[in-house]
Structure 1
Amino acid sequence: MDTMTFTKVLGGLCGSLLVFLLGAWAAEELYHTGGGHGYGEEQQAYVIPVEGDDAAEEEVVQVSFEEVYANADASAASRIWRQCAACHKIEDGANGTGPHLYNVVGREKGAVDGYNYSGALVAVGGAWTPENLNGFLENPREYAPGTAMAYRGLADIEDRANLIAYLAANGAP
């Protein structure tokens, strides 16, 4: 293979690439009219006005935890418990990475024998009432700053209420 053949092949490839680039540029100009070349600057072709379009002003109704907990379903918490079961056990005296949660509802905080708690929960003190468990499960790091629990929390209030009902039902003597 001589130099002239190599030059012709390279020139053909570069010419083909140039044709494809020019074609892409022409298509871009045809199908993106106005608004510049930045994405996200497009406008709708037409807008249909709707009376009473208050989607942005929708009210968020705050429900108290007591009301949600009164209607909690312990059987609905089985999928949520799987997240907890990675570190906690429900059996009495069976500590995992975290303390066992047998009879946790109503138990004093930091009261499991044989488990070394971080100072954060001991400092908070008190009993694990459903309301206290709700606050802790919503955001453990905010409820007890410095806690060793790495869980980010449960955002849904119904999930928290169902989980607390599950713990109360499975820890009852």
Structure 2
Amino acid sequence: MFDTMTLTKVVGGVCGAFLIYLLGSWVGESLYHVGGSHGEETASYVIEVADNGGGGEEQTVDFATLMASADAGQGEKVFGKCRACHKVDGTNATGPHLDGVVGRNIDSVDGFSYSGALEQVGEVWTPENLFHFLENPKGAAPGTAMSFAGLKKPEDRVNLIAYLDSLGG
């Protein structure tokens, strides 16, 4: 059934198909190549945008201005990201309870074992300390056990702080 001629035809067919594939790939690259000559890259389509004079720099907004526009209702929605580890009913979970956190001493919840890294943030959870900590917890307090990546939007952070402040203690 399998003789030398059949095996030769199969190998020849596979090699021929591979050769046609390589030739087609080379022709396609030649026809539709968008790069410049000698390997330099060129854009095939350029989108022009107006210059806003910012020079690509991020605009910084004053913390007090941000806090003045904070919305505790929106902060309650943002708290959904914290709910997996923190409670606001006075009981601890994976993390300490957060009711009354604004103005509370850092590392001061009874019955919760802290890592000791939060002491780098300051002595009291002021709105400013919370604002910077919530942006990047691991960056603000290297060695903290908190695995949360942080809240990148300043509006989310101030809204969350306003919500936590509204809970009192």
Give distance in 1, aligned partners of 2:124 and 2:67.
17
| Aligned-residue offset at 1:67 | 0.9
Residue aligning to 2:92: 95
- Between 1:28-37 and 1:140-149, the stretch displaced more is 28-37
Q: CA deviation at 1:105?
A: 1.1
Q: How far apart are the structure 2 equivalents of 1:5 and 1:145?
A: 68
- Corresponding position: 1:133 with 2:130: yes
- Residue number among 89, 114, 117 corresponding to 2:114 in the alignment: 117
| Residues in 2 aligned to 1:119 and 1:34: alpha-carbon distance in whole angstroms | 55
Task: Tell me the equivalent position of 1:25.
Answer: 26
What corresponds to 1:35 in structure 2? 36
Q: Compute the RMSD of aligned alpha carbons.
A: 2.8
Aligned to 1:64: 62
1:57-81 Cα shifts (integer Å, max 9, x gaps): 2554321111111110111123421
Q: Give the aligned residue type for 1:74.
A: A
Overall identity of the aligned pairs, in %: 54
Alignment deviations for residues 16-53 of structure 1 (CA, whole Å, 9 cap, x no partner): 32123212212222222763585x713447x7988x64
Q: Provide structure 1 residue ranges, at least 5 long, that are not aligned to the other structure.
A: none
Report the TM-score, using the length of structure 2 for normalisation: 0.82
Q: Which residue among 137, 154, 157 is the counterpart of 1:157?
A: 154
Q: Give 5+ residue unaligned stretches, structure 2.
A: none
TM norm structure 1: 0.80
Q: Which amino acid aligns with 2:103?
A: G
